[in-house]
Amino acid sequence: MQPRFLSRLPDREADEINEKDNPVILAGFGRFGHIVGRVLNLKGVRTTVLDLDADQVALVRKLGLKVFYGEASRLELLRAAGADTAKLLVVAVGEKETSLLIIETAQKHFPNLKILTRAFGREHAYRLLEQGAENIFRETLGSSLDLSVAALRALGFRAYEAQRAARFFRDYDEQSVRALAQYAKNEKELIFQAREQIQTLDQLMETERTRVHQPDSGWEPPVAS
């Protein structure tokens, strides 16, 4: 995240938007959204960016990037941003309730818009799933898996094996979030089911270990690298 050192803009009226036919609307341009915007920009994809943080908008403009100030959950602003004709809405705001609101508005008024959403964590993912959002990216999952791969590498596991474990875990964990979403309102059942899931994961991995590698009897330093 960039430092928030710029003073608040005096005028908090939503900006007028004149980039109506861009294929992507990106709501939220903080440490998550700005990465998405820049990657899309690199591939020549024109993006209409909306952000509610006036400091962030001012800073990003100083950096020479295009971003508009406004509340992305407001129907008029989404329409002004071209939601009728855009292909994709990326919801990258950092506040859970705001992201749920934006998605609610978009689903209701622009049913053809494909939505990709940043989620805070599991709990937020459960609520997004309940609301019918499908393409959910828990915001720390990717980097925690990146660190996991680096940890396994540092312990001597080969790159292929470390990446395979992370991929395996990710697939399983994404399935698990979807499977547990239905218990999200029942705490006891959620804990019971989560424990079951973790045991199943252990068993799956054990099966995989036995099938592919030699059986594991406690941790031993693997192949040095």
Interaction residues for a copy of itself, span 167-196 (CB under 8 A): 168-169, 173, 187, 190-191, 194-195
Q: Which is nearer to a copy of itself, 54 or 205 (CB)?
A: 205
Q: How far is the CB of 74 from a copy of itself (least distance, A)?
A: 23
By CB under 8 A, name the one of 31, 159, 175, 225 that touches a copy of itself. Answer: 31
By CB under 8 A, name the one of 85, 131, 186, 199 that touches a copy of itself. Answer: 199
Q: Which is nearer to a copy of itself, 79 or 168 (CB)?
A: 168
Q: Which is nearer to a copy of itself, 16 or 219 (CB)?
A: 219
DSSP string, 76-139: HHHHHTTTTT-SEEEE--S-HHHHHHHHHHHHHH-TTSEEEEEESSHHHHHHHHHTT--EEEET
Interaction of residue 127 with a copy of itself, rule CB under 8 A: no
User: How many CB atoms within 10 Å of residue 78?
Assistant: 26
Q: Which of residues 3-22 bind a copy of itself (CB under 8 A)?
A: 3, 5
Task: Judge contact between 17 and 81, C-beta under 8 A.
Answer: yes
End-to-end CA distance of the chain: 35
Interaction of residue 121 with a copy of itself, rule CB under 8 A: yes
Interaction of residue 151 with a copy of itself, rule CB under 8 A: yes
φ, ψ for residue 47 (rounded to 5)? -130, 135
Rounded to the nearest 10 degrees, what angle do helices 122-130 and 159-180 cross at?
50
Using the rule CB under 8 A, give the single segment among 8-16, 48-56, 76-84, 166-174 that binds a copy of itself: 166-174
Q: Which of residues 34-63 bind a copy of itself (CB under 8 A)?
A: 35-36, 38-46, 59, 62-63
Q: How far is CA 136 from CA 66, 114, 129, 197, in A?
A: 25, 12, 8, 20
